[in-house]
Structure 1
Amino acid sequence: MTRTDRLCVGAIAGAFGVKGEVRLKSFCAEPSDIASYGPLFTEDGGRSFRVTLTRPVAGALGARLSGVATKEEADALRGVQLYADRDRLPSLGDDEFYHADLIGLEVRDTGGALLGRVHAVHNHGAGDILEVTGAGRREALLLPFTRAVVPTVDLSIGRIVADPPEGLE
C-alpha cells in the first residue's frame, strides 16, 4: 500500500465577487483550518497557492488565493481540487484515518473471505460509508464505517476486516 504525500483538503467552487476571490469548499474537520495547511497545490502539483480566508459564504468559504487577481482567473479554477502536504496536516488518533489511506485497501470478512477493495469513502452527513468493489461483485457493497461493522483497519498490511450486517453481504 503506497501512501500519498499530499491529501485533498478542498476544492474551488468558483469565483466569488469581482476582485478575484474564490468560493472554497473545505473538506477539513474544521473548515477554516484549510488556510493553515498551505501552501495548497493543484492535483498535478503544477500550481501552488497561499490561502487567505475572507468570510464565510453559503456552503463554503470566501478566500483569496495568491496569484489570482481577477474574476476571470478565479472562474478558470472552478472545480480544481486543492492538496496539502501530509506533514502539514494534524496527527490522527488511533482510530482515525484519512480517506485517501483507506482507498485501495483489501476488505475481508471476519472469516477471511475477500469482499473486495475500498473504491471510495462517502459521507452524506450520517457518517462515513466505505464503497467496496471487486471480488466478482456486480454492485458495490456499501459498509458503514463504524467499529461494529469495521472492527479492524491495518494500514501496515493494507487490509480491513469487516463484519457486514446480515443482508449487506
Structure 2
Amino acid sequence: MSELICVGAIAGGFGVMGEVRLKSFCAVPEDIAAYAPLSNEDGTRTFAVRITRPISGGFAARLGGITTKEQADALKGLRLYALRDRLPSLPDDEYYHADLIGLQVVDTGGAVLGEVIAVQNHGAGDLLEIRRGAGQETVLLPFTLAAVPTVDLTAGRIVADPPEGLFER
C-alpha cells in the first residue's frame, strides 16, 4: 500500500496575492487542510495549507512558501498528497484508490482478467480501469458490489463478476 494518498490538486492561482485554487478529493472537502503538510507526488516539495474561503469548485487557499501570483500559477495541475497515517481509517467496504491500483483482477472462477491501472469517476460512480495484457485495450469495470464482490488487499487481488461480454474482445 502506498504511503502517500492523493487528497487534492491545485487548479491555478486565485487573485494576485499568491493564493491558489484548491480542489479537494476528500470525503469532507475542508479536511484537506487537516492532513497537511501536503507534498507533491515524489515528496520533494511540501506545503503547509490554510484554507481562506470556499470558492466555486473548491477553496481559495494559502500554501506555505507561495507568496506571488506567478508562484501560484506555476503550481497549476500539481496533485497534492498526504501521508497515509494522517488520514482516517476506512470501514471494511471502503478503499483508497491508491490501494486498488496494481491489484490483480480474477473472475469468480479464478481466471486472471488483468490488473487495475486506475480508478476513474466520470460522475456516475467509480470504474476500475483494467489492463488485460500487453498491447491490449483496457476495460472499464463498474466498481459496484454486483460487479466486484470481493476486494482482498492482503492477497492483492480483486474477484470480479463482470457483466456478460465485457472481457470478450
Q: Report TM bin, short chain.
A: over 0.9
| 1:122 and 2:140 correspond | no
**4+ residue runs of structure 1 moved beyond 6 angstroms?**
none
Using structure 1 for the length normalisation, give the TM-score. 0.95
Partners in 1 of 2:135 and 2:43 — Cα distance?
35
Question: Against the structure 1 CA distance between its residues 41 and 136, is the aligned structure 2 distance closer, same or farther, given a 3 Å change threshold?
Answer: closer
Write the distance in 2 (CA, Å) between the matches of 1:63 and 1:105: 35
Which structure 1 residue ranges, 5 or more long, are not aligned?
A: none
| Contact 2:18–2:66 (Cα < 8 Å) also in 1 | yes
Listed one character per residue, the Cα deviations across residues 36-69 of structure 1 (whole Å, up to 9, x for unaligned) are 1011011121111111111122212110111111
Aligned residue number for residue 94 of structure 1: 92
User: What residue in structure 2 maps to residue 40 of structure 1?
Assistant: 38
Of stretches 96-105 and 54-63 in structure 1, the one that deviates more from structure 2 is 54-63
Residue 140 of structure 2 aligns with which residue? 142
- Whole-Å Cα distance in 1 between the matches of residues 30 and 143 of structure 2? 25
Q: Does 1:50 align with 2:48?
A: yes
* Alignment partner of 2:106 out of 108, 112, 127: 108
Instruction: Number of aligned residue pairs: give it.
Output: 167
Q: Does the residue aligned with 2:120 lie in a helix, a strand or coil?
A: strand
Percent identity of paired positions between Structure 1 and Structure 2: 68
Contact 1:114–1:135, Cα closer than 8 Å, also in 2: no
Return the TM-score normalized by structure 2: 0.95
RMSD over aligned Cα, in angstroms? 1.2
Give yes or no for contact 2:107–2:160 (8 Å, CA) kept in 1: yes
1:82 aligns with 2:76: no
